Structure 1
Amino acid sequence: MPWSKMDTQRQEVSQFRARLWWALLVIVIVFVGLVSRLVYLQVWQYERYATESDDNRQQLQAIAPTRGLIYDTNGALLAGNRASHSLTLVPEQLIGGRRGIDNVLAELAQVVSIDQNDVKRFNRRLNQPRRPHSPVALRFQLNPTEIAQITVNQHRLPGVRIVPELVRFYPLDKGFVHALGYVGRINDRELAKLDSANYSATHHVGKLGVERFYETELHGNVGYQTVETNARGRVLQVLDRFEPVPGKNITLFLDAQLQQAAAKLLEGKRGAIVAIDPKTGGVLAMASAPSYGANQFVTGISNANYQALRGSDDLPLFNRALRGRYPPASTVKPVMAIAGMDSGIISRKYSLWDPGYYQLTEGGRLYRDWKEGGHGQVDMHKSIVESVDTYYYAIAHIMGNDPMTKYLAQFGLGQVTIADQPEATKAVLPTQQWKRINRSASWFPGDSLNLGIGQGFLSATPTQLATMAMVLANKGKWHQIRMIKAINDQPVEKVSDIGRNDPKQPSDVALERSSDWNKIHNAMIDVMHGKKGTGRRSGAESSYKMAGKTGTAQVLGIKQDSTYDAATIAERFRDHGLYIGWAPAKDPVIAIAVIIENGGGGSSAAAPLARKLFDLSILGAQSKTKAKEGAENDG
């Protein structure tokens, strides 16, 4: 028994030692495994996991550049920026993918107002190319109450950020949108064309006009910052920052005071006014009526408001100054007179007897003059002063299509004349080829007669007519028509100065006899100041001389045996009133075109508006000069 007991004890000790060694071996193996794993992770895989760690706690965020400002010629701010707060989501910080996003959207809807349109736009932005961890906008322009509500509930809204930003603001919004254009949210079509990296933090882009044409200069270049965040995505500190390059500031020739006056003169009317500086080609005013406010488009106009604008019979969204096509009517008569004289088709002393009508063939159709009974004996001077249609029927019949369209093109018709307004249209300058292509018909003598008085197939925009007035005022001298005056205070003579292609522009109009310019100028001065001038009422009692030409464009065809009676015709079918001119007559500082749709005669509807703008431009400038001189003398 003792031996048996001792053997059992020895056996137990042996088993214990074996188990101990096995346990020790396991411990050693585990320890070696842990050390090996630690070495592997800390040494061999250091760069990989260091990068992943940094990715978890560090984020690269794009910083939107500040959009450049737009000023008028006198330094008045036309387009600035103001602070706004946007509600955004960072999808990478939401657990559960699409389900996580939907859960957060549902939570947010209980905190602030979010409609289905907000969600639809958010989903579109979510599917657009973007940088990881960059926020996706859900709503813009949060008010202080909404900001406070989101901040209080931030603990249960992972991935939700309130992002402060600067958005476009137009301090002089009324009447400026058709000249400036506006900035709006980037849509899918625009995003496909834009530099995705440079616009990674930008939600808006120039949509129309100056804002669109100079988008590259105004936008600037994106910046970046590396930030450290906690597990909830809250920024703890900025580790590195590359500052964005702000957009360039732009100065326009546009005169805010003149623009406001033009817009006010057009209130309650449909039409357009374009004013140009004849010495530079700079656009001083460009108003189209009716108009609308640009600020409502910056962060998204409501569907109801947009449909109201779009459905209006008065077409407020339509830019009449750049895209309106109107028969120029009698405003082209000075150019037709030049065409006849300079081409040698008629003599400078050519005259005819006006019985009140013109006939191509005896017993044929009567092409009537506006004055029943006619004007008697008419020469070139009288034909412009009293706007005698019969004179231009006759010379148009002699000239035919080619000489007329050749000279009209030299004055800017049938082409885009403005360099930096992308919405401008060239309207229609009807040649024989144009009619064959577009009407599948030959050119007839009657077409020439209509063209001679600015009717028929011929159409022009108000901008083209203002350009024509400038070239007439300058005695054939052309300047590039443009909005831009300077970028960052550096003068811009042509858009090619900033790397754009200059649009094709006619050469200066050189006449065989330079004295013909004086004949045309004198006639246009008498239009405004002569005893029988069609614009004499608008030129009366002026302290300076002005030159101009009125026009009345027929909208509704009148039968041969009928007479025009505005009182019996629906307002939409009444004549358009037109006017072109410049002032002062001898050393012009402003050339202008006015069109009033269905306003009646140009002498009553358009010329009085031009006179008021002439007074503001000339007498207002003189008053400022006198006041400045008086202050200097007092000093």
Structure 2
Amino acid sequence: MLYRQPDRLHDHGRARRVFRMRILLGAVVSLFVILILFGRAAWLQIAQHDYYSAKAEQNRTRIVVLPPERGRIFDAQGEVVADNVATYQVQITPEHSRDVRAELDMLARVLELDSAEVEALAERIRVGRRFDPVLVKADLDEVERARIARLKPWLQGTEIVSSLKRVYPYRELLAHVVGYVGRINAEDVKRIDADAYQGTQYIGKTGIERQYEDRLHGVPGYRVVEVDALGREIEVLETVRPTPGHDLALSIDVGLQGIAAAALGEYAGAVVAEDPRDGAIRAMVSRPSFDPNLFVDGIGRDTYRALLEDPDRPLYNRVTTAAYPPGSTIKPLMGVVGMEDGLIEPDERFFAGPYYQIPGNKHRYRDWRKWGHGWVDFEESVFRSVDVYYYDLAYRMGIDRMHEFLTDFGLGQPTGIDLPGERSGLIPSRDWKRRVKDEIWFPGETVIAGIGQGYMLTTILQLADMTATLAQSGTRHRPWLVADNRGMRPPVEIERTDAWRRAREAMLAVVEHERGTANKIAAPYPIAGKTGTAQVFSVAQDEEYDAEELERRLHDHALFVGFAPFDDPELAVAVIAEHGGSGSGTAAPIARKVMDFWFGVEPDSEIQPEFSEYGD
């Protein structure tokens, strides 16, 4: 027993040490746990105070975005051409929904949406922000609103709101100018500022609506509301009103636009009327056209397919995006460069036979007049539209000089008008053909370019601007549609020489002279103009063009450009009537009707302006 006593003492000491270590370890662990708890509490109550306060506030309040009213668009006389009307729409906010897909499927059944519409909505939601409302359907009727109201307990993220819907009172008349808005889609979301478009469901897609989207859109506002446990509004706590978009005033005159559209009649084509004094566009008609109201809330697939497959291409803006051979309308301009370069003397007589041949070449370039015109001077070459005269001038001038002058004049390049998608056209050159076609330029191609055929392509807007510049003897203004652009770019001054006067006087003779190609449109006011045709297909060397034996779609396009009054021009007009055949018989009378309306002259024949008020 005496031998084992020390062991018991030793065990007792070790037990106390173990006990102390356990107490110390427990204290450390307890302290560590306390520090973690205090740290977590500090993190939640101090560092994350704002976040959790906001979350708590969200349980009590909700921010409702107030979309801005889109700016309206007016014509030059103050007529509304793009307006907003009150309507009801249903929208879904993903953040407020328990199951977005389930809600979409339920809405599809209630509102009779097809699968393509539902998938487009799902994609729009996927790429957007969860707190941004997405338009499901606009312009709800009473039955649809009642159905959705009954299902509200199952549609937590869905709400019906009053809104403003875009409408276009003149429908087809201004579709290619004003354009249209459409629903914001997945592609739009990728390029827009999401904050600037909170609560907004529409964006400009074409025309003025797209060009001036930033000015028309406005700035969103918001309303802070108190809600109960079911999300129902109890009280409005704060309101920040949205800033409306800016209204726009166009240079277009709706009355003149309606007359121009009616004057075109059944022809596909275009009419442009420009003020040569400052470049203001007074009328811009492209026919056929379409109803832009169809696109605002999403056009049906069958309707859209019908528009796309229509052989007359109503969606195609023939003023800015269609390019045609300018034909004989460029002859006065060719005369200007010919006189300035000393290639022609305006009073010198030139024998214009039935055809022209390049020296050493047997190919015959025929005049439109089978037996030729005989001896003519410059003025006669214009008012009788003598092809052989310009074959010879073009050959001596060369394609490079022709390209240089016509390009400097504004042909074959965008005018800079304030519309999206303007096409440049083409004024060919040796370099262009070598670069694009990897071929050399042939002299025969220069000859036919002299009468505006071959590779040469211009838009009707360019021809209107060319005519306005001729009217001003070389002062060229950039055409514009929105009044704020007036004088934004200084005019281009081309050196004034006597050649401009001679060219203008020759254009006057086109209408005033008894042998002028457009003498049938002579008016109480002096009109200067030039007729032309744009070939649809080429006639072989040993064949003759016989319009009566051709299908309508193979007839030449009819062209006319002109300005009035001659001494103090106020209006320059360019017209193309596709497959109209004769510039003098088809296009020139259209221009005369447009000018008559503008100058307050009663037309010889009854013509009613084409208007299409929304809702008629």
Q: In which range does the TM-score fall when normalised by the shorter chain?
A: 0.7 to 0.9
Separation of aligned partners in 1, 2:300 and 2:342: 60
Contact 1:385–1:533 under 8 Å retained in 2: yes
1:164 corresponds in structure 2 to 162
2:125 corresponds in structure 1 to 126
Partner SS state of residue 62, structure 1:
strand
Q: How does 1:197-208 map to 2 (within 5 A)?
A: 197-208=195-206
Separation of aligned partners in 1, 2:51 and 2:405: 74
Contact 2:478–2:491 under 8 Å retained in 1: no
Structure 1 residue 574 corresponds to structure 2 residue 574: no
Q: How does 1:75-154 map to 2 (within 5 A)?
A: 75-95=78-98, 100-109=99-108, 111-130=110-129, 132=131, 134-154=132-152
Q: How has the CA–CA distance of structure 1 residues 109 and 315 changed in structure 2, closer, same or farther, with 3 Å as cutoff? A: closer
Q: TM-score, normalised by structure 2?
A: 0.87
Structure 1 residue 373 corresponds to structure 2 residue 371: yes
2:544 corresponds in structure 1 to 563
Q: 2:500 aligns with which of 511, 517, 524?
A: 517
Q: How has the CA–CA distance of structure 1 residues 383 and 46 changed in structure 2, closer, same or farther, with 3 Å as cutoff? A: closer
Partner SS state of residue 296, structure 1:
helix
1:285 corresponds in structure 2 to 283
Q: How far does residue 620 in structure 1 lie from its aligned partner after superposition?
A: 5.7
1:631 corresponds in structure 2 to none
Separation of aligned partners in 1, 2:296 and 2:338: 51
Separation of aligned partners in 1, 2:562 and 2:107: 60
Contact 2:325–2:453 under 8 Å retained in 1: yes
Separation of aligned partners in 1, 2:457 and 2:495: 25
Q: How far does residue 403 in structure 1 lie from its aligned partner after superposition?
A: 2.2
Contact 1:159–1:233 under 8 Å retained in 2: no
Gaps of 5+ in 2: 1-36, 604-616
Q: How far does residue 186 in structure 1 lie from its aligned partner after superposition?
A: 1.8
Q: How has the CA–CA distance of structure 1 residues 230 and 582 changed in structure 2, closer, same or farther, with 3 Å as cutoff? A: same
Q: Which deviates more, 79-88 or 326-335?
A: 79-88
Q: How far does residue 127 in structure 1 lie from its aligned partner after superposition?
A: 0.6
Partner SS state of residue 172, structure 2:
coil
Higher relative contact order (CA 8 A, sep 6+): 2
Structure 1 residue 603 corresponds to structure 2 residue 588: no
1:420 corresponds in structure 2 to 418
Separation of aligned partners in 2, 1:185 and 1:109: 17
Structure 1 residue 533 corresponds to structure 2 residue 531: no
String of CA shifts for 1:276-309, please: whole Å, max 9, x gaps: 0111101111111111011111111100000000
Separation of aligned partners in 2, 1:526 and 1:414: 27
1:410 corresponds in structure 2 to 408
Contact 1:566–1:574 under 8 Å retained in 2: yes
1:462 corresponds in structure 2 to 460
Separation of aligned partners in 1, 2:491 and 2:478: 10
Q: AA paired with 1:84?
A: T
Q: AA paired with 1:215?
A: E
Q: How has the CA–CA distance of structure 1 residues 58 and 402 changed in structure 2, closer, same or farther, with 3 Å as cutoff? A: same
Separation of aligned partners in 2, 1:251 and 1:413: 28
Separation of aligned partners in 2, 1:356 and 1:49: 92
Separation of aligned partners in 2, 1:602 and 1:195: 49
Partner SS state of residue 483, structure 2:
strand
Q: AA paired with 2:310?
A: S
String of CA shifts for 1:432-463, please: whole Å, max 9, x gaps: 11111112112221111111100011010000
Partner SS state of residue 322, structure 1:
coil
Separation of aligned partners in 2, 1:516 and 1:199: 55
Aligned residues: 564
Q: How has the CA–CA distance of structure 1 residues 120 and 131 changed in structure 2, closer, same or farther, with 3 Å as cutoff? A: closer
CA-atom RMSD in angstroms: 2.3
Q: How far does residue 547 in structure 1 lie from its aligned partner after superposition?
A: 0.5
Partner SS state of residue 319, structure 1:
coil
Q: How has the CA–CA distance of structure 1 residues 312 and 537 changed in structure 2, closer, same or farther, with 3 Å as cutoff? A: same
Separation of aligned partners in 2, 1:448 and 1:363: 14
String of CA shifts for 1:495-538, please: whole Å, max 9, x gaps: 5xxxxxx6xx9832213x3x322211111111011100000112
String of CA shifts for 1:247-271, please: whole Å, max 9, x gaps: 1111011011111111222342111
Separation of aligned partners in 2, 1:93 and 1:435: 61
Q: 1:400 aligns with which of 386, 394, 398?
A: 398
Q: 2:315 aligns with which of 314, 317, 330?
A: 317
Separation of aligned partners in 2, 1:353 and 1:510: 30
Q: How has the CA–CA distance of structure 1 residues 108 and 558 changed in structure 2, closer, same or farther, with 3 Å as cutoff? A: closer
Q: 1:215 aligns with which of 208, 213, 216?
A: 213
Contact 1:578–1:606 under 8 Å retained in 2: yes
Q: How far does residue 49 in structure 1 lie from its aligned partner after superposition?
A: 4.8
Q: How far does residue 150 in structure 1 lie from its aligned partner after superposition?
A: 2.0
Q: How far does residue 236 in structure 1 lie from its aligned partner after superposition?
A: 2.1
Q: AA paired with 2:210?
A: R
Partner SS state of residue 466, structure 2:
helix
Separation of aligned partners in 2, 1:109 and 1:366: 68
Separation of aligned partners in 1, 2:49 and 2:179: 55
Q: AA paired with 2:581?
A: G
Q: 1:507 aligns with which of 466, 478, 492?
A: 492
Separation of aligned partners in 1, 2:384 and 2:350: 14
